[in-house]
Amino acid sequence: MKSEPCELAPYSTDRKKFHFYFPSVGKKGHYPSNVSIDGKVTARGQFNELNVVRHRTIEKDNIKNFDDLIHVGTDEQILDYLRTENLLDNSSGFAFSKIYFLCNKEELWSKIVSILRMRQIYEETIWMFAFKHNKNE
């Protein structure tokens, strides 16, 4: 990780997003961001220990958002979500791009299209799978 200077005006904030990975599983130390003024550390977050796992596990009765549903939900549960939830509000983590892989299965794609048609929602990429399945929907 590298240092990245950032100047802040009084009573302001700045958000930085970064990605990292761990080459192996196990407990790993995570050193948080620091704030320094003129080279002297003035604030520091607390040290964290992260538990790095090979595969994320989610209990079927502990689904909290759409990402969890995609990982452990059945096709029918996902279709129910598409039927009943507000697909334009992504606060639950929903994005059409997260279901594109499901559209590779013709039968499932057809059900998704049927739901979108019923709800009068147009999503270009999902409809483009008609070419893959040679359908004139």
pLDDT digits 0-9 by tens, 20-78: 778 899 998 887 778 888 888 888 888 889 888 887 777 777 788 898 898 888 899 99
Q: Is residue 107 assigned to a domain?
A: yes
Per-residue tokens: 113: 């299209």
User: Average pLDDT for residues 93-106, to the nearest whole number?
Assistant: 95
38 lies in some domain: no
Percent of the chain with pLDDT over 70: 97
Is residue 76 included in any domain, yes or no? yes
85-93 CB contacts, 8 Å cutoff, 24+ apart: 87/119, 87/121, 88/121, 92/65, 92/66, 93/65, 93/66, 93/67
In a domain, 27, yes or no: no
Residue 59 maps to a domain: no
Q: Is residue 23 part of a domain?
A: no
Domain presence at residue 90: yes
Contact between 113 and 107 under an 8 Å Cβ cutoff? The reply is no
Give the other-Cβ count within 10 Å of 71's Cβ. 13
Are the C-beta atoms of 117 and 123 separated by less than 8 Å?
Answer: no
1 confidence band (pLDDT: 50, 70, 90): low
In a domain? residue 33: no
The predicted pLDDT at position 125 comes to 96
pLDDT value of position 115? 97
Considering its fold, how many domains does the chain have in total?
1
Token code pair at residue 62: 């502990």
Residue 89: which domain range? Answer: 66-132
